[in-house]
Structure 1
Amino acid sequence: MEHVLITQGRVIGALILRETRTTFGASQLGYLWAILNPAIGIAVLTAIFTTIGHPPPFGSSLALFFATGFLTFELYKKLSGSLMLSFDANKPLMLFPLVQATDVLIARALLIVATYILVMVLFYTGLIILDLASLPAHPDQVFQAIVATSLLGIGMGTTNAVIYSVFKTWKQIEEIYSRPLFFMSAIFYIPDNFPTEIVSVLSWNPVLHLVEWMREGYYPNYNSSVLSKPYVLSVAFVLLLIGFAGERLYRKKRIG
């Protein structure tokens, strides 16, 4: 058993290196751009809202408020979208006996999560240096929010990968139904400020709960009446179960 785990660990390590070269290229600029891209997105949002004179929905820093929402959303979206294509992108590798489809998924997921954790650390550190943010009030809750976001993203990405492997049109369908999530995930606003009828609809979106979880962790006095940790974790584990069960069920058909 120990030998098997060591072997699979080496396989996943090799796949992470391959994913790094494939995703970011051989130069360091590719990885640097992956780090800068989310930061640029937050900077653009902050500049737009500052120009129109919009005050921060919470706290004194627009950049911090947007970062807690945007980076959380981007981590989920990157996992759910990139993992969807992992089976097809690595199909030749899965002909090798040592390489399993789950190894490919885990390798890509670990690379994405590690990259976004680095992005968060660098961006929040920059805000702290510029006196636009303080240290997280509840670091344990921030960490839990990142873990929960990763689980939901991996669950959705794995489920997407299984569906896409047998139904190629799913990529276009997924892009259509996931596009409104950007506006429904509390990146620009506080859900509690909306009427109850609107909140009851928005609360079905698990990504919104993740953003609220992150903000409760970062801000010392942010209390969300919308956040339901059991709900978002339940959705994540159901998606993980569907995804990995589906991968095993359709494994022969996919490889063939």
Structure 2
Amino acid sequence: MKQLLALQARVLGALVLRETRATFGTSRLGYLWAILTPAAGVALLVWVFGAAGRQPPFGSSLALFFATGLLTLEFFRKLSSSLMSTFDANKALLTYPVIKETDTLAARLILISTTYLLIMVVFYSTLIAFGLADFPHRPGQALAAFLATALIGFGFGTMNAVIISMWDSWRFVEQILTRPLLVISGVFYIPSRLPSEAINVLKWNPVLHLVEWFRVGYYPNYDSFVLDRSFVLGLGLALVLLGLAGERLYRKKRV
């Protein structure tokens, strides 16, 4: 058992290293750019809305409010979209008996999750250093929201990888379906303040719950009437199980 675990750890370590080089290149600037890009997106939003005289919907920092929404959304989107192409990108490696499809999925999960954890730590630390934010009021809840985002992203990404292995055009359909997430995920507003009719529709979006969960963890007095943790965790587990079952079922049918 110990030998199998050690072998599995070496396989995952090698795959993560390969994914890192393939995604960010061998230069440190590639990884640094991956960290700066989401931060630049938040900074651009703050500048645009600040120039328009927009006040933060909650709290005193526009940068913090947008970051809690946008970085959570971007983590989900990056993980889900990256996992979509995992099987095709590692087709040559999958000819080795020691490497399984699930290993390649786990390697990308580890890489993207670690990268976005670093992005969030650096970004929020910078806001704290400049007096634009305080430390998270409930760090355990903020971490739980991050892990829940990884779970949902992994579930959606695994399902995407299975579907696209059978229907290549799914990548274009997925882009269309996920494009409205920036508007319907509570990045720019507080969902609890919307009319009940709107809430009844938007509450089916799991990313909305993830954003609300992270804000509950960060702000000391953020009350959400929309957040449903059991919905997020149940959906995430269901998607992961369905995705892994689909991968197992259709493994031999892939071209």
> Which residue is equivalent to 2:97?
97
Q: What code does the residue aligned with 2:214 have?
A: M
Cα offset for 1:45? 0.5
Aligned-partner SS, 1:148: helix
- Pairs within 5 Å for 1:103-182: 103-182=103-182
Between the aligned partners of 2:80 and 2:20, the Cα distance in structure 1 is 18
- Pairs within 5 Å for 1:9-48: 9-48=9-48
Superposed structure 1 runs of 4+ greater than 4 Å apart: none
Cα offset for 1:14? 0.1
Percent identical among aligned pairs is: 57
> Which residue is equivalent to 1:50?
50
Cα offset for 1:192? 1.2
Cα offset for 1:3? 1.3
Deviations 1:82-126, CA, capped at 9 Å, x for gaps: 000000010000000100000000001100000000000000000
Deviations 1:9-31, CA, capped at 9 Å, x for gaps: 10010000000000001111100
Q: What code does the residue aligned with 2:48 have?
A: I
- Pairs within 5 Å for 1:205-216: 205-216=205-216
Deviations 1:113-165, CA, capped at 9 Å, x for gaps: 00000000000000000000000000000000000000000000000000000
> Which residue is equivalent to 2:188?
188
Matched, 1:7 2:11: no
Q: What code does the residue aligned with 2:144 have?
A: Q
Cα offset for 1:2? 2.0
Output the aligned Cα RMSD.
0.6
Between the aligned partners of 2:26 and 2:148, the Cα distance in structure 1 is 31
Matched pairs, number:
255
Structure 1: gaps (5+ residues): none
Cα offset for 1:8? 1.0
Between the aligned partners of 2:129 and 2:178, the Cα distance in structure 1 is 35
> Which residue is equivalent to 2:65?
65
TM-score by length of 1: 0.99
Aligned-partner SS, 1:250: helix
Cα offset for 1:70? 0.5
